[in-house]
Amino acid sequence: MRMYDLPDARGHFGPYGGVFVAETLTAALDELRVAYERARQDPAFQAEFKYELKHYVGRPSPIYFAKRLTEKCGGARIYIKREDLNHTGAHKINNTIGQALLARNMKKPRVIAETGAGMHGVATATVAARYGMECVVYMGVDDVKRQAANVHRMGVLGAKVVGVESGSRTLKDALNEAMRDWVTNVDSTFYIIGTVAGPHPYPMMVRDFQRVIGDESIEQMQELAGRQPDAVIACVGGGSNAMGIFYPYIENTKVKLIGVEAAGEGLATGKHAASLCAGKPGVLHGNRTYLLQDANGQITETHSVSAGLDYPGVGPEHSWLKDSKRAEYVAVTDDEALAAFHELCRSEGIIPALESAHAVAQAMKMAPKMKKDAILLVNLSGRGDKDMHTVAERSGKKL
């Protein structure tokens, strides 16, 4: 593959990405683009970011050989990148630290965020506490109910959680509301977007802050297995954990990149969140990308057992990787993800987030069909403590 240098100066990945926002946000995005470009080339900023990742987040996160899972599947060796071991229990904190440091550089005392499952909200509340910033988190009221424990976590960290009543009352509506807040309070406020979506420079910036996952993986796989994996597998909602692990591998075309979307109750039922597998390109939340939409171009409601994948769009770089065939996107149902959740708990003693369980399920499908010396690397983007309620409910138990 030729040198990969996307996005272009205006944030385009082929036909995707860009800056599709009302004029009221143009100046704020220009300011952010300039500030980020400076930070990107500033050794002091990069050094502080690295220091925080090491001493506050606990990086590098290990890669672990899942021996018993591998034996059960009876094929390729399955390795797991343990993002679940990060402070706050998911990969989200890599990005919130980067953006909070940038907010501090830009002298913005207030940060806002949107959240679905609550993991990005918790990661934002955490760094806001760490750097002494005011923090407001927007969350659909349906998600507030589904994720009560995370709402409480944000509260104890000093953040204010605002329930969003409009639209489908989930992640996309929280994002709309956060954008509205940002437009109104642009001088004092930094909007910490949690995934590789939104207007430029967010998709690039969030990817850059998350690429540490892939950079570490390349070193660790060499040490552990003496070579790089045959395929890297990650779940995709907005797609930040996947972009983080994929990006450093893009030019190494011997490594397959496989993104796993939420097929919910099945792609045929319409109750899913698989924008790349079943959507069409369109414009939402400041960028052009694959979207789940009806014939009138209205964004449709999504479904997934995991709130973190429950989003009708996807980061524009994934849309480009799909069209250019550098990455392959598949979908895994709620039931398959739950089965993989239980399998990983019982065979490895690791409780994965339901989001990450989608990637595990895909590895379990692929491994038996591969040779025993083949290698799969699964990005375990988060831990599953937050999902105990959902898992209990699905098994007919009440906590």
Partner 1 sequence: MSRIQGRFEALAKAKRKGLIPYIMAGDPHPSLTVPLMHGLVEAGADIIEFGVPFSDPMADGPVVQRSGERALKHGVGLKDVLSLVKQFREKDKTTPVVLMGYANPIEAMGTEKFAAAAKAAGIDGVIVVDYPPEECLDFSALMKKSDIDPIFLLAPTSTKKRIDEVARSGSGYLYYVSLRGVTGAANIDLSDVAAHIPQIRKATKLPIGVGFGIRDAESAKRVAQTADAVVIGSRIIQEIENGSPEDAVMRVKNFLKPIRQALDA
Whichever of 202 and 247 has its CB closer to partner 1, that residue is: 202
Q: Is 279 in the site for partner 1 (CB under 8 A)?
A: no
- State residue 247 phi and psi, 5-degree precision: -55, -50
Q: Is 9 in the site for partner 1 (CB under 8 A)?
A: no
69 is written with which tokens?
A: 């899972």
Q: Is 397 in the site for partner 1 (CB under 8 A)?
A: no
From the list 33, 172, 272, 318, which residue makes contact with partner 1 (rule: CB under 8 A)? Answer: 172
In the chain the first and final C-alpha atoms are separated, in Å, by 51
Task: Please give the Cα distance from 364 to 39 (Å, whole number).
Answer: 40
Positions in 334-373 near partner 1 (CB under 8 A): none
Closest CA to 21 of 188, 183, 238, 192: 183
From the list 129, 183, 225, 374, which residue makes contact with partner 1 (rule: CB under 8 A)? Answer: 183
Task: Please give the Cα distance from 218 to 5 (Å, whole number).
Answer: 19
Whichever of 15 and 155 has its CB closer to partner 1, that residue is: 15
From the list 6, 277, 284, 309, which residue makes contact with partner 1 (rule: CB under 8 A)? Answer: 284
Indicate which residue of 81, 92, 108, 386 is catalytic: 92
- State residue 90 phi and psi, 5-degree precision: -165, 170
Closest CA to 73 of 374, 349, 380: 374
Indicate which residue of 217, 240, 304, 381 is catalytic: 381
Establish whether 114 is a catalytic residue.
yes
Establish whether 217 is a catalytic residue.
no
Q: Is the peptide bond before 201 cis (omega within 30 degrees of 0)?
A: yes
Q: Is the peptide bond before 60 cis (omega within 30 degrees of 0)?
A: yes
From the list 6, 13, 19, 303, which residue makes contact with partner 1 (rule: CB under 8 A)? Answer: 19
The nearest distance, CB 105 to partner 1, in angstroms, is 20
From the list 91, 120, 207, 285, which residue makes contact with partner 1 (rule: CB under 8 A)? Answer: 285
Using CB under 8 A, which of the segments 25-33, 108-116, 271-279, 324-332 binds partner 1? Answer: 25-33
Q: Is 273 in the site for partner 1 (CB under 8 A)?
A: no
Indicate which residue of 52, 83, 108, 114 is catalytic: 114
From the list 223, 268, 298, 398, which residue makes contact with partner 1 (rule: CB under 8 A)? Answer: 298
The nearest distance, CB 9 to partner 1, in angstroms, is 11
The nearest distance, CB 137 to partner 1, in angstroms, is 18
Establish whether 160 is a catalytic residue.
no
From the list 8, 26, 71, 74, which residue makes contact with partner 1 (rule: CB under 8 A)? Answer: 26
From the list 9, 156, 268, 295, which residue makes contact with partner 1 (rule: CB under 8 A)? Answer: 295
User: Which chain residues interact with partner 1 by CB under 8 A?
Assistant: 10, 18-24, 26-28, 30, 166-167, 172-173, 176, 179-180, 183-186, 280-286, 291, 293, 295-299
Catalytic residue set:
92, 114, 381
